[in-house]
Structures are given as structure tokens and as C-alpha cells.
Amino acid sequence: MKVTDAKFVQGFIRMANDGWEQGWHERNGGNLTYRIKKEEIEEIRENLRTDGEWKAIGTSVPNLGGEYFLVTGSGKYFRNIILDPEETLAIVELDAAGENYRICWGLKNGGKPTSELPSHLMNHEVKMIASGGKHRVIYHAHPANVIALTFVLPLEDKVFTRELWEMATECPIVFPDGIGVVPWMVPGGRDIAVATSELMKQYNVAVWAHHGLFCSGEDFDLTFGLMHTVEKSAEILVKVYSMTGGKKRQTIQPDEFRDLAKDFKVTLPEKFLD
Ligand code: 2HA
Ligand code: ZN
């Protein structure tokens, strides 16, 4: 099968374009990676190159040895993915040790996988283990309202979690584990990858202060939906701050969150409710 005809590639392109249309991907901002299923690789194997040069990932992900990923290219624009996926995306294979990668498809005019490859792969490893293999999508975007809040709220997991839960009743159901916050760090390197993956052991969402948002999920719908829900909630909070300076006349109370958790069968950590 042609790579671009595969259902997972179509799903990836649609999600990337949806992110562009939301305004989360100015210029070359953001990146998306998908851990490809064994049977999906078999469908397209005849069109994968095996002569790519092995290159260092820049970190070590031993539990992902031998896995294949569909990834956005470094410096590529989300806006262009739908027009030319073979120029803007790549499929990469990891070696058995999880220390090197090689390009098997895509980036037809040259280029490298996303500059955030170390962060994506370390988070894939953590989330694959934490979810028993279910999580396959890691998504980083630059949604404006989440970023704006990182100049106003204290950079604490509890504050971001509680404030965003309060802004929309669905939030504690969509991200019951809460949200982690990474202080400002240089993007693209191993340090931000380590800091983010530490938080992603307990969360599916991490804020990068003054930069953007990082999400993990099982499939494209769930991961896009998570990014969308968090950013919508941040937009409401920005409106509340803009109208009142942050003073709420009323809001959802801790016991109301507990009632919601019971009915919707989610567990909300008490540390976010006291
Ligand atoms: O330009 O978003 O974090 C890609 C990025 C880096
Ligand atoms: Zn970024």
C-alpha cells in the first residue's frame, strides 16, 4: 500500500491540519508523533527504505527499540502537511537499543525529524509503559490561551489543574489526573525531555511555561480532543481574568467535583481538591 493511503497516515494528516486550523501552529511551531502498530507497518513495508543512515536520537529509549514512528519534520510547517505529506513528514525506525534512528520514508527533499524528537520519544516510552501499550500519540502545540496563563498563574501543577477544571465541567472527566507544569526551559534538548517525561508518569498533559502544551493519548481523536479541551478551558479562564481580574463570583466547589467523579467514574486526586 502507498504510505499516504494508510489509514493511520490519513488520521495523522487530518489531526495536524486540524491543529493548524485552530491557530496552534504558527510558522514551524509544534510537532506530532505516532507510534505505529506492527500490522500498520506491514501494510506499507514494501514502500519503506532500509538504507537510511543511523543517527543518534540524543537520548536513550531502550523500551522503544525496534519501534517505528510517524513524525513531523524539523522546521516544517503544519500548514503544508496536507499539501505534501512526503515532504513534511517522516517514518523513522529505532535500532534495537533505542539509541539511534533512521529514516524509512518521507522528508523527500531532505531534512530531519522534529527538533523535539528526544522529548517525544522519552514521553512515548513513559506513556507506553504507564498505559500498558495503549498510548501511541504525543502532540506538542502552541495554543495562545494556555501560554498566556503561564504569565499570570503560579507555575504549579495544582493551580493549573484546579483553575482549568473549574472552567468547564467536562475538564475533570477529560483530564482527571490533572496537569503538570514545566518551568521555562530551552526547547529541543534532553533536559526538557527528562523534566516533561517525569511529569508524564502521572499526567497526560504538561504545560511548557511561556511556550506551549504537551499531550499524550491513545489515538488521534483522544489526543487532539485533550489539547482542544485544555485550550478551550484556558480561553474561558483568560476571559474570566480579563473581565474580573480573576475574582470569581461563583465556581464549582470541591464537593461538587467529588459528586461529579462518583457519577462519571473517574478518580480525582484529593491533593487537587483541598
Ligand atoms: O518549532 O515547537 O518546541 C517546533 C517547536 C519546538
Ligand atoms: Zn514548541
Which H or E run includes 173?
Answer: helix 171-174
What is the share, in percent, of the chain residues with pLDDT greater than 70? 100
Give the Å distance between the CA of 60 and the centre of ligand 1.
21
Q: Which of 116, 125, 166, 235 is catalytic?
A: 116
Pocket test for ligand 1, best of 112, 116, 119, 211 (most atoms within 8 A of CB): 116
The atom number, within ligand 1, closest to the CA of 208 reads 3
Report pLDDT digits (tens) over 28-69.
999 999 999 999 999 999 999 999 999 999 999 999 999 999
Q: Helices 7-22 and 220-244, interaxial angle, to 10°?
A: 10
C-alpha–C-alpha distance, residues 17 and 194, integer Å: 28
* Annotation marks residue 53 as catalytic: no
Give the Å distance between the CA of 213 and the centre of ligand 1.
11
What pLDDT score does 120 carry?
97
pTM > 0.85:
yes
Pocket test for ligand 1, best of 114, 208, 227 (most atoms within 8 A of CB): 114
C-alpha–C-alpha distance, residues 52 and 8, integer Å: 22
What is the share, in percent, of the chain residues with pLDDT greater than 90? 98
What pLDDT score does 246 carry?
86
Give the Å distance between the CA of 84 and the centre of ligand 2.
22
What pLDDT score does 116 carry?
94
Q: How confident is the model at residue 219 (pLDDT cuts 50, 70, 90)?
A: very high
Residue 107 has pLDDT above 90, yes or no: yes
Residue 189 has pLDDT above 90, yes or no: no
125 SS3 class: helix
Which cell numbers in the block locate residue 218?
491513545
**Ligand 1: residues whose CB is within 6 Å?**
28-31, 115-116, 140, 187
The atom number, within ligand 1, closest to the CA of 142 reads 2
Count Cβ atoms below 10 Å from residue 226 Cβ, excluding itself: 20
Give me the residue label for grid cell 503561564: 150
Report pLDDT digits (tens) over 223-262.
999 999 999 999 999 999 999 998 999 999 999 999 999 9
